[in-house]
Structure formats: C-alpha cells, structure tokens
Amino acid sequence: MKHYLKKLLNQENLTLQEMKDAAETSFADHISESELASFLTALRAKGETPEEIAGLAEAIRNQSTQTTHELTSVMDNCGTGGDGSHSFNISTTAAFVLAGAGIKVAKHGNRSVSSKTGSADVLEHLGISLSFSKKHVAEMIQENHIAFLYAPHVLPGMKRFMTVRKNLGIPTIFNLIGPLTNPVDLDTQLLGSYRRDMLPVLAETLHQLGRKRALVINGPDYMDEASLAGDNYISLLEEGNVTSFTLHPSDINLPVHDNDAIRGGDAKKNAAILLDVLHGKTGPYYDTVLLNAGLGIFANGAVTSIQEGIRKAEDSIQSGAALEKLQRLVEYSSKMTSEAI
C-alpha cells in the first residue's frame, strides 16, 4: 500500500492492475483505517483516472458472492447520488419502464444516503425483497427482465470503507464508484453523476469495464439524473469512442419543468409517485421518467434516437407492461419469503 501511496503523492497515475492490487490489499485486516484514509485522500488530490476508477470497481466486484457472468445483454441505470436534489426515485421508476420495453435490467441500488429515500427504501415499501440470491436475480432477469440488487447484500466488502469515508468527511472515489460495482456483467449502462466534470472520464471508465455502449449524464443543477429544467450534459460511449453533447427538453419535444416540480419525500410518498407514473398519470414526474427511460433505451442501443426511445418508453407505460414488471417482482418476492418460512 505504501508503494502505491507514494506514487499518488508524486502525482503519478496507477495502472488498472495496480489499482486492483491496491484495492485488494485494502481488504486485508492489517491495513489500518489511517492508511486507507491517506490513500483515498491522495487519490482525490491527484484526480482519479478511468483506469483507477475501473480498477477499484473490479476489485470490489470480485469480493461479491453474487458476481455472475452467465447473463447476457443486461443493463443498469443507477446514478451516483450525491446531488442533493431530493427528487423522487427517477431511475428506479425508469428501470421498470426499461424492463417493460423488453430490456433486461439488473437494478443496483442502496438505501438513502444524500436523499430522503433511496431505491432500496422505496422498493422495500412496495414489497420487493432486498435479499435476492444470485439464483433469484438470474431467474427474475430472465423471466421478468428486471431484478433488484441491494448493494450491502451483494457487496459486503464495501463495509470495510464505510467508517473511513464517514470520518474523512470529504468526497472520495467512492462517491463515483457505486453504479460501477454491479456484480452482474453489464453490456450497456445509463449512469448518472453529480460530477459534470467527470462525464467523459466515467464514460471511458465504462469502456475499461467492458461496456459496449453507455450514456453518462448530468442534469440541470448538477443532478445525477436527466431533468426537464434545462440543458442536460451527456457523454456517449459507442464502439470505444466517447462523444459529448447537451440535450434540452425542446430538442425532443418534451415540456420544461422546474426541478422543484419533481421533488420527492419519504418512502411512502415516493412509492405513490412511482405507482402513479406506472399507471400513466401525466405531469412532471411522468415526463421526467419518459426522458430518463428514453435515454436508457437509447443507451442500450434498442433504438437509434433518443426521441424513438421516449416513444418506446411511453408505450411501455401506456400498455401496462412497466407496471406488470413491478407487480411480478413483488409477487416473486412474496413467494420467495413464503418458501423461506
């Protein structure tokens, strides 16, 4: 660890393999919390590279008992969090729309950290299990096109860093890493980040992690989701190349809504919003989900334009397909719980 720390203090970048080695070393009991804190601080001060972010993500994934290579053509649409917007659970709602559009989704998420309600909080309120096994995840993705992977359940190795992060009290690489540690091998991804300056870096990181296609987005007011309040900043990874552009609601014939119009609340309120959207209730919440689901469908490569993705997202909701994916996941959770008793 000291060798890698010295390199970082000398403003030298670590290779992907060096970062994997350093991260794997950090899981060892003999590495102190002060050493971990020094490493994370030095990395932050130098600035994280795609290779370093990818190396840490791979090391964390390798610690998971649920890492799977059997599933194909799977995507995730998880964001980093950390934007402080207190919006409703946009990506969680959009995940069911993606599944209803025929896309296989391994939805990775956690409880609330910077927002009032995390994806795990709202899904648990709706009756979805947070303890799907590797077998359950595979079955649900194959049969229902969506499963939920609760981060602490599938990535127990992350606990080692929680105290260090809390004590440091500053943003570190771990504020970027969450959506990259999904233990399911992903082919495509929609990644939201509160760090607008890191969009191309994160897109290149996804390339390092083997994504065939991806979008990395930062919305108005630095949201880690796309929103209809103004320009969205986007980096597209396609065939190994990264290109960046902005997207305004007027570009895709969607109305402008202020971010205050998509605020959420506790798990009960956000669950009600999610159900309203999947039942087709129109308004700012609905339009915001159309935007994010449309971007997800485009990121997946199922369509050739964002506009076409939005149309496909609306079909998923209006046909009842998105709601059915949620209902089946709740039913599967109930059955799983009954069998365990």
225 annotated as belonging to a binding site for a ligand: yes
Would you say 109 and 118 are in contact if contact means Cβ atoms under 8 Å apart? yes
Please report, in angstroms and rounded to a whole number, the separation of the first and last CA atoms in the chain.
46
Phi/psi region, residue 215 (left: phi>0; alpha: psi -120 to 50; beta: rest), is beta
Nearest 5°: the CA angle 290, 325, 217 is: 35
What burial class does residue 197 get, using C-beta atoms within 10 Å of its C-beta: 0-12 exposed, 13-18 middle, 19+ buried?
exposed
109 annotated as belonging to a binding site for a ligand: yes
| Cα 97 to Cα 91: distance, rounded to the nearest angstrom | 10
319 annotated as belonging to a binding site for a ligand: no
82 annotated as belonging to a binding site for a ligand: yes
| Cα 286 to Cα 118: distance, rounded to the nearest angstrom | 19
| Cα 186 to Cα 175: distance, rounded to the nearest angstrom | 20
| Cα 174 to Cα 40: distance, rounded to the nearest angstrom | 9
325 annotated as belonging to a binding site for a ligand: no
129: helix, coil or strand?
coil
3 annotated as belonging to a binding site for a ligand: no
Would you say 248 and 232 are in contact if contact means Cβ atoms under 8 Å apart? yes
| Cα 192 to Cα 24: distance, rounded to the nearest angstrom | 26
| Cα 332 to Cα 341: distance, rounded to the nearest angstrom | 15
115 annotated as belonging to a binding site for a ligand: yes
224 annotated as belonging to a binding site for a ligand: yes
119 annotated as belonging to a binding site for a ligand: yes
89 annotated as belonging to a binding site for a ligand: yes
110 annotated as belonging to a binding site for a ligand: yes
| Cα 231 to Cα 290: distance, rounded to the nearest angstrom | 16
Q: Is the dihedral of CA 118, 122, 125, 130 positive or negative?
A: negative
Structure tokens at 328: 């089946």
112 annotated as belonging to a binding site for a ligand: yes
Amino acid at 319: S
107 annotated as belonging to a binding site for a ligand: yes
Q: List residues forming the annotated binding site for anthranilate.
A: 79, 110, 165
Binding-site residue numbers are: 79, 82-83, 87, 89-92, 107-115, 119, 165, 224-225
Annotated binding site for Mg(2+): 91, 224-225
Q: Binding site membership for 5-phospho-alpha-D-ribose 1-diphosphate: which residues? A: 79, 82-83, 87, 89-92, 107-115, 119
